[in-house]
């Protein structure tokens, strides 16, 4: 009951206790979109091309994001149907919804897919 909440929705180094843990857990497990000021949006689960307006931005396209030094793999966004750019790879292609399971061979970044089984 103390861990599940949409707040705090903006990181601050002064966050402590449950608020600090809640933000970290939300960022790692629920974050899909951010507002342009960096606040997390925990409600929208659409693919980016279906989002209207310019308020919400996929976390990996946030304009003032710290540049990534390492490649980030992520999942838990089936509606995205996978995503690849230079430093960000989204592997969720909706297997539990009848899509496919996507795997990556890290050495050469080759992707493999397996259609969902009945």
* Average pLDDT per block of 10 residues along the chain, 118 residues long: 88 97 95 95 94 92 90 94 95 96 96 95
| pLDDT, tens only, 68-91 | 999 999 999 999 999 999 999 999
Tracing tokens 């925990």 back to the chain, one arrives at 42
Are 114 and 101 in contact by the 8 Å Cβ rule? The answer is yes
Longest dimension (CA), the chain: 48
Give the per-residue pLDDT at 64.
Answer: 85
Give the per-residue pLDDT at 1.
Answer: 65
How far is the C-alpha of 60 from the C-alpha of 51, rounded, in Å? 15
Radius of gyration in angstroms for the set of CA atoms belonging to the chain, rounded to a whole number: 16
Are 42 and 26 in contact by the 8 Å Cβ rule? The answer is yes
């Amino acid at each position: 009951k103390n861990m599940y909440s949409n707040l705090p929705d903006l990181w601050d180094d002064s966050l402590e206790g449950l608020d600090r843990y809640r933000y970290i857990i939300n960022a790692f497990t629920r974050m899909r979109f951010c507002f342009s000021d960096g606040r997390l949006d925990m409600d929208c689960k659409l693919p980016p091309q279906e989002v209207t307006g310019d308020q919400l931005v996929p976390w990996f396209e946030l304009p003032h994001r710290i540049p990534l030094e390492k490649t980030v793999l992520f999942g838990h966004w089936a509606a995205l149907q996978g995503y690849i750019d230079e430093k960000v790879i989204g592997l969720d292609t909706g297997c539990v919804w009848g899509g496919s399971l996507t795997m990556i061979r890290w050495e050469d970044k080759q992707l493999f897919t397996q259609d969902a089984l009945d």
